[in-house]
């Protein structure tokens, strides 16, 4: 089957077009600066890159152009009707969705209802679904929510200790994100252990620009680090992760910062960028450390210490852990972060093999010593493939 996976953001549409089974990527691309005077569409088919520079007034025009490029000269399709399904990467499904779903009016209404929970992400996700339905009528569309995989958490894990009416009236609770990635790598981990996912306990560390961890017992999430929004938990590229919420009131009281400015600071100017004052990119942090930059060293130390604390917490939650997985940009590529995050955890069962850890990890691999009680795995994530495969499953019922 040929499946188009779409990730619709506020000013961009990213896409990947797959032939399944076999996970062959037929084309991939991104349309950027939608609604701005200078738009840009870049598509990759094999080694061939095509770039179109012109304004795209809205998401509908942008997706139209993508479909023209897929079907035009040098494209990969003779006609749009050859697309068997569209998979949408969606962010916030609230409590309404615990699995990928066929998109219908009800789903669209539910995403709309959850806008208040993800004001930056759900509106462009909605637009993506609406324009795809308009431009590809009759072709089944499936939505995969970032929050869905985490819906198996129990109230003890997802409730904040706030007055209960905020949960009842305002849906304030922990939802968790990166669910597509946590689901994909935890299943892969079970495959690598040669056991059914229903029988293994896994801690997954998704360390990209955003970062989160999940504790997964027998294929079901029991805890995760992100909360109502992706701000909570680990230190990230530009997000603070956990901090004392009273800091917000202190800043409101002691500085002239507005609530909007503080929100922006916590999401866009904190994390590695805030601490180092230089960059949100772990590669650059590591280079700066080599040059003796003290603030970069501190950013790295705070980042890894938070991961280590949560490995301890997730180990306690699971009681028994079979595998710990590192994935996403930093998790897959930074031996230094993996080593520092696991430092001192040998007695807890995590015994890293320094040589295996230092190797390149383009493919999934086990980087624990033979005597390590827990396997330590590096598994490249592929959220688009996961959504494409979910789309096929939903279509085939």
Among 55, 329, 365, 380, binds ligand ADP (CB under 6 A): 329
- Catalytic residue, from 146, 223, 366, 382: name it: 146
Examine residue 328 and tell whether it contacts ligand ADP (CB under 6 A).
yes
Q: Give, in degrees to the nearest 5, the angle at Cα 197 between 87 and 146.
A: 35
**Interface stretch with ligand ADP, choices 50-58, 165-173, 193-201, 280-288 (CB under 6 A):** 280-288
- Is the dihedral angle over the CA atoms 329, 330, 336, 340 positive or is it negative? negative
**Interface stretch with ligand ADP, choices 12-20, 141-149, 206-214, 356-364 (CB under 6 A):** 206-214
Residue number with CB closer to ligand ADP (30 or 110): 30
Residue number with CB closer to ligand ADP (332 or 366): 332
**DSSP assignment of 188-244, as one string?**
HHHHHHTS-GGG-EEEEEEESSSEEEEEEETTEEEEES--SSTTSSS--SS---S--
Examine residue 380 and tell whether it contacts ligand ADP (CB under 6 A).
no
Examine residue 358 and tell whether it contacts ligand ADP (CB under 6 A).
no
In angstroms, the CA 255 to CA 270 distance is 17
H or E, element range at 285: helix 282-290
Among 7, 141, 270, 333, binds ligand ADP (CB under 6 A): 333
In angstroms, the CA 62 to CA 41 distance is 8
Q: Is 33 exposed, middle or buried (0-12, 13-18, 19+ CB in 10 A)?
A: middle
At its nearest, how many Å lie between ligand ADP and the CB of residue 65? 24
At its nearest, how many Å lie between ligand ADP and the CB of residue 246? 29
At its nearest, how many Å lie between ligand ADP and the CB of residue 189? 18
Q: Are 288 and 298 in contact (CB under 8 A)?
A: no
Examine residue 282 and tell whether it contacts ligand ADP (CB under 6 A).
yes
- 19: β partners: 2, 24
Q: Are 354 and 235 in contact (CB under 8 A)?
A: no
**Interface stretch with ligand ADP, choices 57-65, 279-287, 299-307, 357-365 (CB under 6 A):** 279-287
Examine residue 210 and tell whether it contacts ligand ADP (CB under 6 A).
yes
How many CB atoms are closer than 10 A to CB 113?
13
Examine residue 231 and tell whether it contacts ligand ADP (CB under 6 A).
no
Q: Are 194 and 200 in contact (CB under 8 A)?
A: no
Q: Which two tokens stand for residue 240?
A: 């603070």
Q: Which residue has the tokens 């604390």?
A: 309
**Interface stretch with ligand ADP, choices 203-211, 259-267, 305-313, 316-324 (CB under 6 A):** 203-211
Among 28, 98, 209, 369, binds ligand ADP (CB under 6 A): 209
Residue number with CB closer to ligand ADP (7 or 390): 7
Instruction: Answer yes or no: 104 catalytic.
Output: no
Residue, CB closest to ligand ADP:
329
Interaction site with ligand ADP (CB under 6 A): 208-210, 237, 281-283, 286, 328-330, 333-334
Question: What residues are labeled active site?
Answer: 146
């Amino acid at each position: 089957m040929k499946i188009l996976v779409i990730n619709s953001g506020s000013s961009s549409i990213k896409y990947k077009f797959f032939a399944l089974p076999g996970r062959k990527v037929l084309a991939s691309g991104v349309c950027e600066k939608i609604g701005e005077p200078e738009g840009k569409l870049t598509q990759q088919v094999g080694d061939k890159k095509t770039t179109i520079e012109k304004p795209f007034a809205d998401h509908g025009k942008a997706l139209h152009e993508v479909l023209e490029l897929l079907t035009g000269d040098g494209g990969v399709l003779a006609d749009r009707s050859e697309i068997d399904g569209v998979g949408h990467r969606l962010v916030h499904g609230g409590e309404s969705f615990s699995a990928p779903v066929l998109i219908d009016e009800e789903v669209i209404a539910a995403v709309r209802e959850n806008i208040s929970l993800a004001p930056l992400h759900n509106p462009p996700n909605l637009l993506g679904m609406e324009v795809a339905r308009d431009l590809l009528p009759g072709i089944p569309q499936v939505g995969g929510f970032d929050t869905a995989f985490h819906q198996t958490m129990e109230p003890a894990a997802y409730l904040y200790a706030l007055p209960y009416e905020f949960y009842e009236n305002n849906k304030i609770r922990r939802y968790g994100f990166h669910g597509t990635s946590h689901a994909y790598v935890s299943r892969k981990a079970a495959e690598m252990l040669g056991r059914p996912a229903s029988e293994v306990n896994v801690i997954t560390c998704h360390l990209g620009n955003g970062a989160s961890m999940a504790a997964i017992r027998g294929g079901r999430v029991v805890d995760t680090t992100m909360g109502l929004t992706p701000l909570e938990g680990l230190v990230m590229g530009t997000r603070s992760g956990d901090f004392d919420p009273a800091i917000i009131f202190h800043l409101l009281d002691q500085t002239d910062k507005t609530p909007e400015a503080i929100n922006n600071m916590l999401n866009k100017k904190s994390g590695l960028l805030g601490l180092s004052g230089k960059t949100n990119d772990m590669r650059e942090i590591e280079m700066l450390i080599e040059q003796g930059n003290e603030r970069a060293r501190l950013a790295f130390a705070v980042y890894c210490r938070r991961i280590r604390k949560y490995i301890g917490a997730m180990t306690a939650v699971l009681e028994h852990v079979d595998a710990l997985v590192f994935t996403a940009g930093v998790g897959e590529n930074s031996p230094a972060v993996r080593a520092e995050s696991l430092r001192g955890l040998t007695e807890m069962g995590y015994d890293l093999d320094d040589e295996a850890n230092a190797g390149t990890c383009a493919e999934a691999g086990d980087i624990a010593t033979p005597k390590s009680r827990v396997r330590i795995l590096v598994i490249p994530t592929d959220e688009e493939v996961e959504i494409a495969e979910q789309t096929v499953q939903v279509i085939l019922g």
